[in-house]
Amino acid sequence: MRYPIVIERGDDTHAYGVVVPDLPGCFSAGDTLEEAFDMAKEAVEGWLEVCLDDGAEIPKPSSLEAISNHSDYQGWILGTVDVDLSKLSDKAERVNITLPQRVLRRLDALANKAGDTRSGYIARMVLEGNS
């Protein structure tokens, strides 16, 4: 999915500022134009991941023409960032992992105590940021 971005020009003392009009509060910056594009992609991916985590619907991107005609962005650099939504998919995927037996026993005990399956427990720990 390609999201339009608008970039306010930087100079020797100011970074290039990036706004993603379709994603409220999604913005970024970079010291160079190339870095601004890279950082914009990272910001969009992070914004969309939080959106999915919150169970919200992902906004559809506007057309480049609609953004280029917006009065707030006249004189700004117009571009897009391409985001692979499949990398953010919540579709279950079967994986094969190898763990020492004692680790597996402890994992199963923790999952059982939490009222969860082994897979569910691992997923919840990762999403909650627990280690």
Burial class of residue 59 (count of CB atoms within 10 Å of its CB; 0-12, 13-18, 19+): middle
Query: Tens digits of per-residue pLDDT, 42-80?
Result: 999 999 989 888 888 899 999 999 999 999 999 999 999
In whole numbers, what is the pLDDT of the chain averaged over residues? 91
pTM for the complete prediction?
0.68
pLDDT at 131: 46
Which CATH topology does 2-88 take? Double Stranded RNA Binding Domain (3.30.160)
pLDDT at 130: 55
In this chain, the answer to whether the domains covering 2-88 and 92-131 adopt an identical fold is no
Query: Tens digits of per-residue pLDDT, 82-94?
Result: 998 877 766 777 8
Which CATH topology does 92-131 take? Arc Repressor Mutant (1.10.1220)
Where along the chain do its domains lie? 2-88, 92-131
